[in-house]
Amino acid sequence: MNNYSSKLLEEAVNELSRLPGIGRKSALRLALHLLKQDPQQVDNFGNSIIRMRNEILHCKICHNISDTDICEICANPKRDQSILCVVEDIRDVMAIENTSQFLGLYHILGGIISPMDGIGPQDLNIQSLVDRVKEGGIKEVIMALSTTIEGDTTNFYIYKQLKEFDIQITTIARGISIGDEIEYADEVTLGRSILNRLPYQSNV
């Protein structure tokens, strides 16, 4: 499939096929679908993505995606400012928020330590986590990373950075089967794993 009758179509297919999990045949199918839509709708489609990329902010406190400098969760005075939940990315925040079991604040690492992918501690929001704890007022840090080797490594690295402070470091209960990703866990299991969190025990 490479004789596109239109450069405009070919360019759109090229761009769509850069998305993860979308090959050239799927990209062509999507492009032809978009061609059948109302031009106004396609404008909205393209512009909503461009606007998102250009205007979205990251919360200066927890690094959550936000439309403002400080995200709604960090700005909410009803949330417990003394408990931090450390997660890999914003999908984990959404999954935990959906359980309604956690009323503290978050800290989004933006990934986990993964030497295979060239991601080291300096690529993640770990220093700002240490700074938050150093500032005081935090009693507990809950580690809610995926139960993979990389997640365990990251847990251990952060534990070493935080153990000098007078705080409790816990991990969510491993009710979620080892190897499963947090974002795909069912809400009941995930909610319970936050209620049943345990003192941190290194298994690296």
* Residue 172 sits in the site that holds a second copy (CB under 8 A): no
Q: How far is the CB of 111 from a second copy (least distance, A)?
A: 10
Q: Which window, 22-30, 120-128, 165-173, 192-200, contacts a second copy (CB under 8 A)?
A: 22-30
* Residue 118 sits in the site that holds a second copy (CB under 8 A): no
* Residue 95 sits in the site that holds a second copy (CB under 8 A): yes
Phi then psi dihedrals of residue 85, to 5 deg: -110, 120
Taking the least distance from each CB to a second copy, the nearer of 64 and 147 is: 64
Tell me whether residue 161 is exposed, middle or buried, using C-beta atoms within 10 angstroms of its C-beta: 0 to 12, 13 to 18, 19 or more: middle
- 114 contact partners, CB below 8 Å, separation of at least 6: 150
Q: Which residue has the tokens 């534990």?
A: 159
* Residue 91 sits in the site that holds a second copy (CB under 8 A): yes
Find, among 193, 195, 140, 187, the residue nearest to 168 by Cα.
140
**Pair 196, 99: CB distance under 8 Å:** no
Q: Which window, 14-22, 116-124, 134-142, 148-156, contacts a second copy (CB under 8 A)?
A: 14-22
Interaction site with a second copy (CB under 8 A): 1-9, 11-12, 14-16, 18-21, 26, 28-35, 37, 39, 42-57, 59, 64-67, 71-73, 89-91, 93-95, 97-98
